[in-house]
């Protein structure tokens, strides 16, 4: 992640933050690179991808040239978690079951930190 990267925290409705900081990926180049060709991801870091609107297609991911499993959480524009999945290396396609505007990629532990239906707020660090 670059020195100029903007990091955010994701906060639950009860005010507790997820135990990770996420690099906000809202540019074409950041979304293009993602986790491709990386060998690992620190336990306390993730990537928050931001799309222009809610979509299932635009928020779908592939795992080509990602060498480790990740947890993926998709959120609607209002921060509601619409889906969460374990994505395995070199799989061709993962998509949310409902339209999403955001998707968060982190270690598989991410899947134990959130539940479908809960609402998260994105706060600048």
In-domain check, residue 13: no
| pLDDT range class, residue 4, cuts 50, 70, 90 | low
In-domain check, residue 55: yes
Whether the pLDDT of residue 5 is over 50: the answer is: yes
| pLDDT range class, residue 99, cuts 50, 70, 90 | very high
In-domain check, residue 66: yes
* Domain around 59: 26-124
pTM attached to this predicted model: 0.92
Domain with 36 in it: what CATH number?
2.60.120.1140
**Mean pLDDT, rounded, of the chain:** 93
In-domain check, residue 10: no
In-domain check, residue 57: yes
In-domain check, residue 56: yes
pLDDT in tens, 35-88: 888 888 999 999 999 999 999 999 999 999 999 999 999 999 999 999 999 999
In-domain check, residue 18: no
Per-residue three-class SS string for 33-92? HCCCCCCCCCCCEEEEEEEEEEECCCCCECCCCCCCCEEEEEECCCCEEEEEEEECCCCC
Structural domain count, the chain: 1
**Which percentage of the chain shows pLDDT scores above 90?**
83
In-domain check, residue 12: no
């Amino acid at each position: 992640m670059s020195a100029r990267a903007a990091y955010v925290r994701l906060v639950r409705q009860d005010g507790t933050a997820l135990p990770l900081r996420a690099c906000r990926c809202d540019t074409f180049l950041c979304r293009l690179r993602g986790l491709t060709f990386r060998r690992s991801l620190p336990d306390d870091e993730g990537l928050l991808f931001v799309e222009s609107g809610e979509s299932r297609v635009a928020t779908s991911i592939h795992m080509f040239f990602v060498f480790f499993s990740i947890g993926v959480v998709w959120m609607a524009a209002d921060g509601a978690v619409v889906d969460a999945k374990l994505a395995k290396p070199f799989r061709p396609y993962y998509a949310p079951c409902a339209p999403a505007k955001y998707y968060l990629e982190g270690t598989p532990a991410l899947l134990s930190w959130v539940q479908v239906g809960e609402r998260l707020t994105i706060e600048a660090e």
